[in-house]
């Protein structure tokens, strides 16, 4: 039957029905295809601007710190980029307890270690503090812009620092064992680098976060602010956010020329290595849920301490004595005593070690609740 014959066979009363069906099909295409594409484009644009923002890390200010008195060391990152750091020897009047590499926060430099871990040097620990590329005394990389998120460049810098200090320890006839102490972005870089560095015996992470889960948190937060239809933004399915996260990181690679590895995934690959996580309870920059997520994924001995009144990177200032006690106890338990077993140059008897107390985390209601140090498997 010809097309003309088919049209003539259709009743005039049926034409509006077919027209409505056609209109419905067009609307379905717009709703299921064009609208999601426009929404994704808008969200991607918002998040690109957010991750490219150069606001300094809250609390990242070492300008008031005195100059570092230590041995200057030039070394190379894992990708060959030149970096600069300082080795600070521990108090000579105390038994040597081990070596700690400090990783500063974004928009800071090597002097930041004076705020966070000077007390460790006084206790007998050697400290190695260095500048990430584009910070302090370390040269910038042409075409690369450091951001608040730990990228493959910070991972390469941290890996280079570990290799440098392992060679330094071996050259001094000491065991190739050390601990990492990182703050904010530096904490993420420390966790990432530890995955392939068996020499790392323990990790301290202050205000740590994973780029992927933090970005998803921010996407949901900003969606309700910028969305015209609030109820729609608040009810996107989980698959929408996962797809948007994948799309974002793909765009980041294309636009920024770097990767942002997942600290969340790295936590599970640390194996049984002990981790101490510290986070400010009033952190408006990175929610405490980020440290809780990392804590849940750790498989080895672990502690999580939420400091109730502290803001981002401010726990050391809010509770200085408790901060020092917890950090020192943790390192004495997991680094110094092991060094004493491995190396005859370390003379710390069991009675000299501080007993590690269970970490306390603050519940949502504000009352302290004990967080067990035993490993927990997540489903």
139-154, pLDDT tens digit by residue? 999 999 998 889 999 9
- Measured distance CA(328)–CA(342) in Å, rounded: 20
Domain count for the chain: 2
133 in the same domain as 25: no
Does any domain span residue 359? no
Determine phi and psi for 275, rounding to 5 degrees: -135, 135
- Measured distance CA(309)–CA(306) in Å, rounded: 9
Cβ-proximal residues to 340 (8 Å cutoff; 6+ apart), any chain? 346, 347, 348
Query: What pLDDT shows up at residue 202?
Result: 97
Q: Which residue has the higher pLDDT, 242 or 233?
A: 242
> pLDDT, tens digit, for every residue of 314-333?
999 999 999 999 999 999 99
Does any domain span residue 109? yes
Domain with residue 133: its CATH number is 3.40.50.1820
203 in the same domain as 183: yes
41 in the same domain as 115: no
Does any domain span residue 108? yes
> pLDDT, tens digit, for every residue of 92-111?
999 989 999 999 999 999 99
pLDDT > 70: what percent of the chain?
67
Cβ-proximal residues to 118 (8 Å cutoff; 6+ apart), any chain? none
Q: Give the pLDDT band of residue 264 (cuts 50, 70, 90).
A: very high
The residues pairing with 112 across neighbouring beta strands, listed in sequence order, are none
Does any domain span residue 375? no
290 in the same domain as 235: no
Residue 160 near residue 82 (C-beta atoms within 8 A): no
Does any domain span residue 369? no
- Measured distance CA(189)–CA(194) in Å, rounded: 9
Residue ranges making up the domain that contains 159: 71-210+262-354
Q: Which residue has the higher pLDDT, 223 or 161?
A: 161
303 in the same domain as 206: yes
Last residue of one domain, picked from the residues 193, 225, 254:
254
278 in the same domain as 163: yes
Does any domain span residue 2? no
Does any domain span residue 43? yes
Last residue of one domain, picked from the residues 200, 231, 254:
254
Last residue of one domain, picked from the residues 199, 225, 254:
254
230 in the same domain as 312: no
Does any domain span residue 274? yes
- Measured distance CA(279)–CA(319) in Å, rounded: 12
Which of these ranges, 98-112, 214-228, 245-259, 297-311, has the smallest mean pLDDT? 214-228
300 in the same domain as 178: yes
**Per-residue buried b or exposed e for 287-321, using 16+ beta carbons within 10 Å of the residue's own CB:** bbebbbbbbebbbbbbbbbbbbebbbbbbbebbee
194 in the same domain as 172: yes
325 in the same domain as 189: yes
238 in the same domain as 308: no
> Average pLDDT, stretch 55-68?
55
**R_g (Cα) of the chain, nearest Å:** 26
151 in the same domain as 29: no
């Amino acid at each position: 039957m010809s097309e003309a014959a088919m049209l003539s066979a259709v009743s005039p009363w049926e034409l509006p029905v077919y027209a409505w069906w056609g209109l419905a099909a067009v609307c379905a295409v717009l709703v299921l295809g064009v609208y999601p594409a426009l929404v994704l484009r808008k969200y991607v644009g918002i998040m690109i601007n957010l991750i490219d923002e150069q606001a300094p890390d809250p609390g990242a200010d070492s300008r008031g710190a005195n100059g570092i008195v230590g041995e200057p060391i030039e070394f190379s990152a894992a990708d060959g980029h030149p970096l600069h750091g300082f080795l600070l020897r521990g108090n000579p009047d105390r038994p040597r307890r081990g070596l700690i590499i400090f990783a500063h926060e974004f928009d800071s430099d090597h002097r930041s270690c004076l705020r966070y871990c000077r007390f460790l040097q006084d206790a007998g620990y050697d400290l190695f503090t260095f500048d990430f590329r584009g910070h302090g005394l370390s040269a910038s990389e042409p075409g690369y812009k450091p951001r608040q998120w730990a990228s493959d460049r910070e991972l390469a810098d941290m890996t280079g620092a570990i290799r440098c200090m392992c060679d330094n320890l071996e050259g001094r006839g000491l065991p190739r064992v050390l601990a990492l102490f990182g703050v904010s972005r530096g904490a993420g870089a420390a966790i990432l680098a530890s995955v392939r560095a068996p020499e790392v015996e323990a990790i301290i992470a202050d205000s740590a976060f994973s780029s992927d889960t933090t970005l998803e948190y921010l996407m949901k937060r900003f969606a309700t602010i910028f969305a015209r239809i609030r109820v729609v933004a608040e009810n996107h399915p989980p698959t929408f956010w996962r797809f948007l996260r994948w799309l974002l990181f793909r765009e980041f690679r294309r636009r920024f020329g770097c990767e942002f590895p997942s600290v969340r995934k790295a936590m599970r690959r640390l194996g049984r290595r002990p981790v101490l996580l510290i986070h400010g309870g009033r952190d408006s920059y990175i929610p405490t849920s980020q440290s809780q997520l990392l804590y849940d994924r750790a498989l080895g001995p672990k502690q999580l301490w939420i400091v109730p009144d502290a803001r981002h990177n401010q726990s050391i200032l809010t509770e200085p004595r408790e901060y020092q006690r917890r950090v020192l106890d943790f390192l004495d338990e997991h680094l110094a005593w092991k060094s004493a077993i491995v190396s005859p140059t370390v003379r710390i008897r069991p009675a000299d070690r501080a007993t590690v107390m269970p970490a306390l985390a603050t519940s949502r209601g504000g009352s302290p609740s004990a967080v067990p140090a035993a490993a927990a498997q997540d489903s």
